[in-house]
Amino acid sequence: MNMILENVPDCDDVTPSDVVRAMRRIADPRGPTFVILEDSDGNYVQAAGTDGRYIVESRTVYGEGFQHYRLYQPITGPDAADVVYHRQKCDRHPPRRCPLRVRRSEVFDLGTVEVALLAFLQTGERAPSLLWREVTEDMIAKAAHRGDDDEITEIRPRSR
């Protein structure tokens, strides 16, 4: 398993203590703003955010396709639009102020991020104790809108 932490050299053969140390660094007001745990097949769990507000996503890769999920939680009241900020360096925004547009139900504290990352590290799967919403179609639509050639824009079973 590989860990990518913003502005830090990648870490191969990640241990649970590496993940815990990464969480401490992300909690620092000057620290990294995102972390990705990725296995050798390209499956990953990633988290981004600052100021105690984070989002968590997961991708399961199969062949040339994928399924993308975002962690969510039940909330009372409307699931209004919200913003989480990240990135130490951004061409358009001040440090740590690059916006990620999310729903209120998708914002978590660092403890939940740690649970999601440690579960993926230990099992290679999304944490079954947490709620995951499939957002694959949203990811494909956003990539197509951006003209992102690196993103798959259609997922369908292979013809027999």
Per-position pLDDT tens, the chain of length 160: 999 999 999 999 999 999 999 999 999 999 999 999 999 999 999 999 999 999 999 999 988 889 999 999 999 999 999 999 999 999 999 999 999 999 999 999 999 999 999 999 999 999 999 999 999 988 787 766 666 544 444 444 444 3
pLDDT at 146: 62
The residue extents of the domains of the chain are 2-146
What phi and psi, each to the nearest 5 degrees, are found at residue 119? -65, -45
DSSP state of 19: H
Q: Roughly what angle, to the nearest 10 degrees, separates helices 16-27 and 110-123? A: 160
CB neighbours (10 Å) of residue 87? 22
